[in-house]
């Protein structure tokens, strides 16, 4: 029976898909590449970084940039695969562990959040990396189900948390009802308990409510979540309704979850005055550290304090994500952790 590990379990590496001139980052590439370089450098302090480069020239350019940033070459695995964009959380493989502790990767479909954006190249990245030998002899199983990694949260013990509309959706999975979605997820990820939310949304979010922007497991019995204190904010009603749903959830042993609120940052807007979905829930847990997206907001400090209290044995590392959020996602959205049992190979 497979098991979907929690994010705080030991990792082999974190995967990033690096931006380039053919992505939506083209008009702000220098700014966003600085974020990527900072993120790669911080991850490399604790574990290897697998970076997907679009081609050989791109790979050489990234290697030079990260060498200049002082990132040890021994911590880098630079692979090649064409990409439409950089949201590795949603197009990357999802790692599970079998009963004997061996890792397996699941390659779910990705269709650009229900066809909103072109995603044919991104959908093929996991299979391409597997063919090139990046994952060694780790088996990869493909599924017809469209499932984005940012849409699911695991406690590592068989419970999955998700906003229902991000999976049971005719644009993503036409003709799949909720029971069929659950059956496929249970088969491939070993999930035994499904906690479905109907509420929770951030203005400007293209994902329809990915759970990693709203609510996160911090321990099997603990959830942190975004709370909006301003009743005039457009996000307030949905987030308040979500909080009520969270209060009604129970752990596998039947107890209420410990709920820890994260602040809602002040609104950020793009150049067209459209609000951006900034959120502190989009943090990344890695070996011995938690990487927190920050936005130059007064609430940054409170978010850091709350998360440091939830992960007292890990270093809290803030990453300025104001450039990232301009395309509607943040730190967790561009990264995908891989389980420690995975056998990674340096690409040729």
Return the active site residues. Answer: 333
CB 103 within 8 A of CB 339: yes
Which of 329, 236, 232, 323 lies closest to 271, judged by CA?
323
Q: ∠319-321-322 over CA atoms, to 5°?
A: 140
CB 162 within 8 A of CB 217: no
Which of 42, 44, 39 lies closest to 18, judged by CA?
39
> Which DSSP state fits 317?
E
Burial of 43 (0-12, 13-18, 19+ CB in 10 A): buried
Which of 268, 272, 288 lies closest to 329, judged by CA?
268
Q: Which secondary structure element, helix H or strand E, spans residue 339, and what is its range? A: strand 335-339
CB 1 within 8 A of CB 37: no
- CB neighbours of residue 265 within 10 Å: 22
**Distance between CA atoms of residues 311 and 62, nearest Å:** 32
CA 306 from chain center: how many Å? 20
């Amino acid at each position: 029976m497979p098991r979907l590990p929690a994010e705080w379990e030991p990792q082999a590496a974190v995967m990033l898909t690096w931006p380039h001139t053919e992505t939506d980052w083209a008009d702000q590439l220098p700014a966003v590449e600085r974020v990527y370089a900072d993120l790669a450098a911080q991850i490399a302090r604790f574990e290897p970084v697998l970076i997907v480069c679009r081609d050989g020239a791109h790979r050489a350019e990234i290697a030079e940039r990260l060498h200049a940033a002082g990132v040890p070459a021994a911590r880098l695995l630079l692979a090649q695969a064409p990409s439409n964009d950089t949201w590795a959380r949603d197009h990357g493989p999802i790692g599970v562990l079998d009963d004997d502790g061996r890792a397996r990767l699941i390659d779910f479909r990705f269709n650009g959040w229900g066809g909103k954006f072109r995603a044919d190249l991104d959908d093929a990245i996991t299979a391409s990396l597997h063919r090139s030998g990046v994952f060694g002899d780790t088996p990869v199983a493909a599924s017809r189900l469209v499932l984005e990694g940012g849409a699911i949260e695991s406690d590592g013990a068989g419970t999955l948390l998700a906003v229902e509309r991000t999976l049971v959706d005719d644009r993503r999975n036409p003709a799949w009802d909720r029971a069929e979605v659950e059956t496929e997820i249970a088969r491939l990820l070993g999930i035994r308990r499904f906690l479905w939310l109907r509420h929770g949304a951030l203005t400007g979010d293209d994902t329809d409510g990915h759970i990693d922007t709203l609510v996160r497991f911090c321990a099997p019995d603990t959830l942190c979540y975004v709370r909006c204190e301003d009743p005039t904010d457009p996000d307030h009603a949905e987030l308040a309704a979500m909080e009520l749903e969270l209060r009604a959830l129970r752990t596998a042993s039947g107890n209420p979850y410990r709920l820890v609120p994260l602040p809602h940052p002040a609104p950020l807007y793009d150049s067209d005055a459209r609000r951006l979905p900034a959120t502190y829930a989009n943090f990344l847990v890695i070996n011995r550290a938690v990487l927190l997206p920050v936005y130059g907001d007064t609430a940054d400090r409170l978010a850091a304090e709350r998360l440091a209290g939830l992960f007292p044995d890990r270093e809290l590392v803030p990453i300025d994500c104001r450039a990232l959020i301009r395309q509607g996602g943040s730190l967790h959205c561009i990264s995908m952790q891989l389980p420690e049992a995975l056998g990674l190979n340096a690409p040729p």
